[in-house]
Amino acid sequence: MKIFVMGGTGLIGSALVSRLTSRGDEVVLLTRRPAHAQERWGNQCTIVEGDPMKAGPWMQVVNDCEAVVNLVGESIFARRWNDEFKKLLRDSRINSTQNVVQALAQSPKTAAGNPKVLVNGSAIGYYGPCGDEELTEETLAGSDMLAQLAFEWELVTNPAEAAEVRVVRIRTGVVLDKNGGALPQMLTPFKLGLGGPIGSGKHWFSWIHIDDEVGIILLALDHPGAIGPIGILQSVGPRLAPAGDPTHASIRIETTSGSGGRDFDHGPAGDSSESSLPGLSIQVPRHRSGFERLVEVG
């Protein structure tokens, strides 16, 4: 399959491109840094220079591809949440999606006459804080800023569906990978002897390993049953855990100093579930997310 990948140099995108090329797919990679991508991937991919947030010649390349994976979106933890950064959070997601949807709407069928596929990023932040409620793909969007952003992110894919493109929206949990993303940051307090439950430890933590995340994207690309509203997949760990569990007393951090490991059974005092970041007071994720559609599809 010839697949146009947007956001292919990030944590998830890099892992996805590796899997796609290893299984023989033809990858066309959109990037603002072609020299960096060329150094990383060499001749394994076709590199296309362009800014996904801006309409441009890159959109014509989509015409020759059978599928698109759009993972573009500025990290919410990248820097202080001022008005400029909030606009970037929105524009990176909405503008990039609108542009690729426009390109697909102009050429929604493959050369063989089959519907093209759009696998588009989203997030479990769609639901907002929900306490102990178990969520499914049918649960309504929340009302906080991140929930409304995810709602709009999904909404702008609708014109592609109207053009009969098969659209899959992947609501991703916290992606864990030892080489990047959230996990190395989560481990730092433990290595300093300060690890423990976040806040009260009673809220839910929806997570997924990078290999499973990539596997779900591949399933969305390949499975004809992942389509329209039933194609909204929740990528979360198969064993949901209260956030206190990953930092329970049984957690053991192995050191590299030869002094063995260290056990932790303590955490921040109090019952707060708030985490203060520069310029932002954000609630610790509290999503008890299910994955009914994922089970149905495969």
Query: Which is higher by pLDDT, 104 or 241?
Result: 104
DSSP class per residue in 17-56: HHHHHHTT-EEEEEES-HHHHHHHHGGGEEEEE--TTS--
Query: Looking at residue 277, what is its pLDDT?
Result: 35
Query: Looking at residue 34, what is its pLDDT?
Result: 94
Mean pLDDT, all residues of the chain: 79
The secondary element (H helix, E strand) that includes residue 112 is: none
11 vs 33: CA distance, rounded Å: 16
12 vs 220: CA distance, rounded Å: 15
Q: Is the pLDDT of residue 167 over 50?
A: yes
Split at pLDDT 50, 70, 90, the class of 288 is: low
Query: Looking at residue 225, what is its pLDDT?
Result: 82
Phi, psi of 178 (to 5 degrees): -65, -20
- Among the residue ranges 139-148, 184-193, 234-243, 271-280, the one predicted with the least confidence is 271-280
265 vs 280: CA distance, rounded Å: 28
The token pair at 165 is 């493109």
* pLDDT tens digit sequence for 197-254: 766 666 677 778 899 899 989 999 999 887 643 334 445 544 445 555 544 333 333 3
Longest CA pairwise span in the chain (Å): 63
232 vs 217: CA distance, rounded Å: 11
The upper half-sphere exposure of residue 14, i.e. CA atoms within 13 Å in the direction of its Cβ, equals: 13
236 vs 132: CA distance, rounded Å: 16
> CA angle 286-293-116, nearest 5°?
115
Query: Which is higher by pLDDT, 186 or 44?
Result: 44
- Among the residue ranges 30-39, 46-55, 77-86, 130-139, the one predicted with the least confidence is 130-139
Evaluate whether 6 touches 30 at the Cβ level (below 8 Å).
yes
Domains, in order of start, for the chain: 2-175+209-238 (3.40.50.720)
The token pair at 111 is 């050369």
Phi, psi of 101 (to 5 degrees): -65, -40
Work out the average pLDDT over 82-96. 95
How far, in whole angstroms, is CA 247 from its chain's centroid? 23
For the full predicted model, state whether its pTM sits above 0.85: no
Single-letter code of the amino acid located at 194:
L
CA distance readout (Å), 277 to 17, 49, 80, 114, 274: 32, 34, 8, 47, 10
Query: Looking at residue 285, what is its pLDDT?
Result: 44
- Among the residue ranges 100-109, 237-246, 269-278, the one predicted with the least confidence is 269-278
Query: Looking at residue 294, what is its pLDDT?
Result: 61
The token pair at 269 is 């005092």
Phi, psi of 183 (to 5 degrees): -60, -50
Q: Is the pLDDT of residue 163 over 80?
A: yes
- Among the residue ranges 72-81, 124-133, 247-256, the one predicted with the least confidence is 247-256
44 vs 112: CA distance, rounded Å: 25
217 vs 223: CA distance, rounded Å: 10
Instruction: Name residues whose C-beta falls within 8 Å of residue 55's C-beta, 6 or more positions apart in sequence.
Output: 99, 102
